């Protein structure tokens, strides 16, 4: 069997990582791994237990009771929290905030990184997150740091949420997003940051197809024999 290939896609929220990574995974026949969903599942558990997500002393003892796993249904990643499918329940603004807060705790990260590395061990993967190129998979054959202007990212997230029927304002989304990016970039351990050997792609003025095309070109150049 050929050695598995890893592609890391990192970047701030709303840059389009998950849509792009899903499309690429389909085209290349790789497994797509959404690591943010794992932090979200931990955030949901912490919320249900009534613990403050910023409180390490409150969060750490809960970790032993949390089992996160992923499975695929028709190629779509499903996330399970203690065997409960929470894939839809983790997509709320409150869980976005909880996920960002719990993700700053080292014990939370170490638990999830072990799971993420295990998944990439035996299969070719496209993994998206914040620290995949810098920390989780430092030997990934291709590392992309996908970004876009704050305004564009907020607009995209606004459209995504309102299309699903959510009632929200663009200003509110832009503010929450900026706060979360600041949290994720400023944490001490494995913060959101471009790896030195990553390729930075600014998607502000690009369509999704154009971004996918660019990454495929880079993949063919760097990873194909
Ligand atoms: O990608 P997302 O918005 O679903 O991620 C939710 C939060 O999880 C994000 O604010 C930061 C955290 N996260 C992280 O710290 N490291 C990752 N590899 C993925 C997500």
Average pLDDT over residues 34-50: 98
Q: Please give the Cα distance from 130 to 135 (Å, whole number).
A: 9
122 Cα to the center of ligand 1, angstroms: 23
- Read off the pLDDT band of 134 (50, 70, 90): very high
Kindly give the distance from the C-alpha atom of residue 129 to the centroid of ligand 1, in angstroms, as a whole number: 6
**CA 189 to ligand 1 centroid distance, Å:** 13
Report the atom number in ligand 1 closest to the C-alpha of 35.
19
164: phi then psi, degrees, rounded to nearest 5? -85, 0
Ligand 1 contact via 109 beta carbon (within 6 Å): no
Q: Report the nearest-CA residue for atom 9 of ligand 1.
A: 100
The closest residue, in CA terms, to atom 10 on ligand 1 is: 100
What's the CA-to-centroid distance between 222 and ligand 1, angstroms? 27
DSSP 120-152: HHHS-EEEEESSIIIII-TT-SEEEEEE--HHH
Mean pLDDT over residues 28-33, rounded? Answer: 96
Enter the DSSP assignment of 89: T
Q: Which fold has domain 6-222?
A: Rossmann fold (3.40.50)
121-150 as b/e, with b when 16 or more CB fall inside 10 Å?
Answer: eeebbbbbbbbbbbbbbeebebbbbbbbee
Q: Please state the atom number of ligand 1 nearest to the C-alpha of residue 96.
A: 6
Could you report the per-residue pLDDT of 86-112, keeping only the tens digit for each? 999 999 889 999 999 999 999 999 999
Determine what percent of the chain is predicted with pLDDT higher than 70. 99
């Amino acid at each position: 069997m050929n050695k598995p290939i890893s592609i890391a896609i990192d970047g701030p929220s709303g840059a389009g990582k998950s849509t792009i990574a899903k499309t690429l995974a389909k085209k290349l026949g790789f497994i797509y791994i959404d690591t943010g969903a794992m932090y979200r599942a931990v955030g949901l558990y912490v919320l249900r237990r009534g613990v403050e997500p910023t409180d390490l002393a409150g969060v750490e003892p809960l970790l032993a009771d949390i089992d996160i796993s992923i499975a695929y249904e028709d190629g779509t990643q499903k996330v399970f929290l203690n065997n409960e499918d929470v894939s839809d329940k983790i997509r709320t603004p409150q869980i976005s905030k909880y996920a960002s807060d719990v993700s700053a705790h080292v014990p939370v990260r170490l638990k999830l990184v072990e799971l993420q590395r295990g998944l990439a061990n035996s299969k070719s993967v496209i993994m998206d997150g914040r620290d995949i190129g810098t920390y989780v998979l430092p030997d990934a054959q291709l590392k992309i740091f996908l970004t876009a202007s704050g305004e564009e990212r907020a607009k995209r997230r606004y459209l995504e949420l309102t299309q699903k029927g959510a009632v929200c304002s663009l200003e509110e989304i832009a503010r929450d997003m900026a706060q979360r990016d600041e949290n994720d970039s400023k944490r001490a351990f494995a913060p959101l940051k471009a790896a030195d050997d990553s390729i930075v792609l600014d998607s502000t003025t690009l369509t999704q197809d154009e971004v996918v095309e660019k990454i495929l070109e880079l993949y063919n150049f760097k990873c194909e024999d």
